[in-house]
Amino acid sequence: MADQADPTQPKRVPKKGRKRREVIELPDAPIATRRLSKKYGDLIAVDNLDLEVRAGEIFGLLGQNGAGKTTTILMLLGLAEPSAGVARVLGLDPMRDPLGVKRRVGYLPDNVGFYDGLTGRENLRYTARLNGLYRNDAESRIDAVLDQVGMTDRADDKVETYSRGMLQRLGIADALLKDPAVLILDEPTTAIDPIGVIEILDLLRGLVRERGLAVLLSSHLLVQVQSVCDRVGIFAAGKLIGVGTVPELARQFGDEGSHIEVGFEGLDDRGIARTEKLLAGIDGVTEVRTPTGERAPFVVVVREDDTGPVREAVLAAAAREGLRLNSIREVMPSLDDIYRRALRATGLGRHAEAAA
């Protein structure tokens, strides 16, 4: 008779084989993620994000509020734990070595905070102490970053007297104190006057040119992203739906062709209709959009390889028909147009409504 198990003893459950952890390859870049995801309950804030930010470039993470940009930044800094996927910042895992990441990354949050009762220089001294800089080294470093951001003249004024733009400049100086290899900026130009915006964007270009930094700039301001970023990632509903230079994104999400703006003087309604027909008849032209205002130009959509011949044909036709041509130039679709087309193409058009 076979031995029967003792009912008083716990049953032995066979050990299951351990599930082998998948190795995810990451590119050799200052910032890299693969399949990075973050869930809050049923909400997917970041969805399988593959991101690469290279040394010596400004990468714009473009999306409306709530798209997942800030959540992404928090995961890169080790301030939020991913639900899945991996991230590396300067080769470090932000979750395993958050202090190592923070030592080498300069970060400017969307709402930078300083002690109002202290001067700009005193605030920077406090940051220097937190980063373990000795006094002599700290003072020379503070002088250098204040000069870089153009704040030397106001460094000894109290922060409570600073404008929003000056606070952002001081924030960039604060981020540069540790001599970072990566700079992460979350909405750095929000609520700044136009001149202040230009100055900050010029400052960022200079930093990349002089120091070879990798800069990740998060923003919902399309024009500013287009003006300063080397590459752009279009972010919506937690997904990265397009990445590239503006011309590359235009080819991916814009019209199939190049755009030429053609301006004429002295056209009435009949003249506009006649000119539209004339332009549409030129070989290589696929579409003609009539002017939307009194001084607005025609927009001629051209097969990509035909821009040169079409420009010559427009000049010849204008001379032949006695039209008063006052401008002709090739133009790139705006990032605003590209953004909306990308959202529609990926079924996220409701976000385009929020962008309006």
Q: Which residues constitute the domain of residue 314?
A: 255-332
Asked whether residue 213 falls in the same domain as residue 321, the answer is no
Asked whether residue 153 falls in the same domain as residue 196, the answer is yes
The predicted-structure confidence for 130-149, as pLDDT tens digits, reads as follows 888 888 889 999 999 999 89
Domain assignment of residue 15, yes or no: no
The predicted-structure confidence for 236-261, as pLDDT tens digits, reads as follows 999 999 999 988 898 888 766 788 99
Number of domains in the chain: 2
Asked whether residue 215 falls in the same domain as residue 267, the answer is no
Mean pLDDT of all residues in 200-224: 91
The predicted-structure confidence for 165-199, as pLDDT tens digits, reads as follows 899 999 999 999 989 999 999 999 887 888 888 88
Domain assignment of residue 219, yes or no: yes
Residue 356 is predicted with a pLDDT of: 39
SS (H, E, C) the chain: CCCCCCCCCCCCCCCCCCCCCCCCCCCCCCEEEEEEEEEECCEEEEEEEEEEECCCCEEEEECCCCCCHHHHHHHHCCCCCCCEEEEEECCECCCCCHHHHHHHEEEECCCCCCCCCCEHHHHHHHHHHHCCCCHHHHHHHHHHHHHHCCCHHHCCCEHHHCCHHHHHHHHHHHHHCCCCCEEEEECCCCCCCHHHHHHHHHHHHHHHHHHCCEEEEEECCHHHHHHHCCEEEEEECCEEEEEECHHHHHHHHCCCCEEEEEEEECCCHHHHHHHHHHHHCCCCEEEEECCCCCCCCEEEEECHHHHHHHHHHHHHHHHHHCCEEEEEEEECCCHHHHHHHHHHHCCCHHHHHHHC
Domain assignment of residue 10, yes or no: no
Domain assignment of residue 267, yes or no: yes
Pairing, β 214-219 against β 58-62: parallel
Domain assignment of residue 13, yes or no: no
Asked whether residue 212 falls in the same domain as residue 80, the answer is yes
The mean pLDDT value of the chain amounts to 88
Q: What percent of the chain has pLDDT over 90?
A: 65
Q: Is the pLDDT of residue 15 over 70?
A: no
Residue 65 is predicted with a pLDDT of: 87
pLDDT band at 110 (very low <50, low <70, confident <90, very high): confident
What predicted TM-score, i.e. pTM, was given to this entire model? 0.78
Where is pLDDT greater, at 22 or 342?
342
Residue 137 is predicted with a pLDDT of: 86
Mean pLDDT of all residues in 100-115: 92
CATH number of the domain bearing residue 279: 3.30.70.100
Q: Which of 70-74, 86-90, 338-342, 350-354 shows the lowest mean pLDDT across its residues? A: 350-354
Residue 252 is predicted with a pLDDT of: 86
Residue 194 is predicted with a pLDDT of: 86
Q: Is the pLDDT of residue 21 over 90?
A: no
Residue 355 is predicted with a pLDDT of: 42
Domain assignment of residue 41, yes or no: yes
Asked whether residue 200 falls in the same domain as residue 284, the answer is no
Asked whether residue 123 falls in the same domain as residue 162, the answer is yes
Domain assignment of residue 145, yes or no: yes
Residue 352 is predicted with a pLDDT of: 46
Q: Is the pLDDT of residue 340 over 50?
A: yes
Asked whether residue 84 falls in the same domain as residue 155, the answer is yes
Domain assignment of residue 66, yes or no: yes
Asked whether residue 186 falls in the same domain as residue 40, the answer is yes
Residue 14 is predicted with a pLDDT of: 53
Pairing, β 182-186 against β 214-219: parallel
